[in-house]
Structure 1
């Protein structure tokens, strides 16, 4: 049985790991995941281990509440209504007579409280404070104008999105790799792997560094490349 370690910085659904086994061509492959974010649902029955090294908590499967079975010999509480439980018209009239004086007492309690005066406005800044406020106002206005000068089409264009996403991936990739180096349990899991797979752009930096450190363990990008490596590992046993 081969062991595959998946490096991921994205939120993965539990069903994804079933797809991974199908794409790897081995339903019995052991999957260990090193994730930056928690999966979208419980994965205890999907993977051998899921080590969360980023923010958040692992999802927990809800515990079903026990259902109490009713005794068939017991009668329903509302099956019989006693005649004395129904109030007569005299009782309703008496209750209304008691409520009327109480309402009159509330109306005679006194006039409503007068509204509180509005707070006095803050004094405008003078002297040096006024100069500072003016500079701050001009700075904020200049930033807004600069933002309007750049057309929206450029802000939302594919090259700009790519550059922003690439920068974010680099920052996340370095943080992800640094966290792996501080976790002895993660390094032990990686040492037992037959193949290490970086699943996304945020995990590429960690995969590249692991490939430099562990020349004997294939470290690849994507599941198709992992499938080729597993097929090569199985080939000697089949030829023998």
Structure 2
């Protein structure tokens, strides 16, 4: 009997990745359900049982169907042949009932001019209305003080950043701390979104093994392990392979 494995991920996964997961798990018939914060890198409906996107973005569109084969030109029916004498030549239609005086009057009709005083006044009124609508009122009172404090804080942050050496900004410890902070914030947001999705919780309840694939999914995996002690929750595919082997061992010994 095939096992259900739920993959928790906060990174973009390519479609070919799921073929690699099946090979590493040692079970080509394993049922994969993915709870992703980011949409996959391509169409994965034929790779996984389900892919639930709980973060921003949209799922990739289905690939276009293969074009139909072109028909053989020799199989087409020939066009109908029409005799030349059956086609009448078009004749020019000239209206000779219009008197010359009416035609001359039509040519001398006055046209609207944009240089008239009325048109200039209308254009000036429109421009003044748009400029007044674009202007924003300046803050007063407490709002003015708050705006001034925020402006000074932004300016101070920029000035302080100039005095920090570039080697310190790009050093490995600083990058590590920034990555840890970003992963921690994302992990909490990812776990909070899981708790609000009943469909995701139902999928996790039906899993034999839950796998956290990256640092952003560790917090969700740890909380799931505390809530569901009967379901193994592991970090990484190798640990999931060991859990699946243990689940299959009793059946093999029997």
Q: Same fold (TM over 0.5)?
A: yes
After superposition, the Cα gap between the structure-2 partners of 1:138 and 1:170, relative to the gap in structure 1 and judged at 3 Å, is closer
SS in structure 1 of the partner of residue 73 of structure 2? coil
Secondary structure of the equivalent of 1:196?
strand
- Asked if residue 228 in structure 1 is aligned to residue 230 in structure 2, the reply is no
- Over 3 Å counting, the alpha-carbon distance change for 1:211 and 1:141 in structure 2 is closer
Q: Tell me the distance in 1 between the aligned counterparts of 2:52 and 2:151.
A: 49
SS of 1:56's partner is coil
After TM superposition, the score normalised by the length of structure 1 is 0.71
Question: What residue in structure 1 maps to residue 190 of structure 2?
Answer: 176
Distance 1:12 1:146, change over 3 A: same
Closer/same/farther in 2, CA of residues 174 and 138 from structure 1, 3 Å limit: closer
Q: Report the aligned-residue RMSD.
A: 2.6
- Which sections of structure 1, spanning at least 5 residues, go unmatched? 76-131
Contact 2:5-2:33 within 8 A present in 1 as well: yes
Distance 2:150 2:218 in 1: 43
- Give the direction of change, closer, same or farther, for the CA distance of 1:218–1:69 in structure 2 (3 Å limit): same
Cα deviation, residue 71, structure 1: 2.7
Extract unaligned runs of 5+ from structure 2: 78-144
- The 1:6/1:138 distance shift into structure 2, 3 A limit, reads closer
Query: After superposition, what is the alpha-carbon deviation per residue over 1:103-123, rounded to whole angstroms, capped at 9, x for unaligned?
Result: xxxxxxxxxxxxxxxxxxxxx
Q: Which residue of 1 aligns with 2:95?
A: none
Q: Distance in 2 between matches of 1:136 and 1:163?
A: 26
CA contact (8 A) 2:3 2:30 kept: yes
The SS at the match of 2:29 is coil
CA–CA distance in structure 1, aligned partners of residues 227 and 215 of structure 2: 20
Query: How far, CA to CA, are the matches of 1:233 and 1:138 in structure 2?
Result: 61
Contact 2:43–2:63 under 8 Å retained in 1: no
TM superposition shift of 1:136:
9.5
Identify the residue that residue 195 of structure 1 maps to in structure 2.
209
Q: 1:141 to 1:192 in 2, by over 3 A?
A: closer
Per-residue CA deviations over 1:144-174 (Å, capped at 9, x if unaligned) read 4422211111101111111111111111101
Normalization by structure 2: what TM-score? 0.67
The structure-2 alpha-carbon separation of the partners of 1:5 and 1:139, relative to structure 1 and needing over 3 Å to count, comes to closer
After TM superposition, give the deviation of residue 72 of structure 1 in Å. 2.7
Q: Secondary structure at the match of 1:6?
A: strand
How far apart, in 1, do the equivalents of 2:37 and 2:28 lie? 25
Matches of 2:43 and 2:234, distance apart in 1? 26
How far, CA to CA, are the matches of 1:140 and 1:216 in structure 2? 51
d(CA) in 1 for partners of 2:233, 2:153:
50
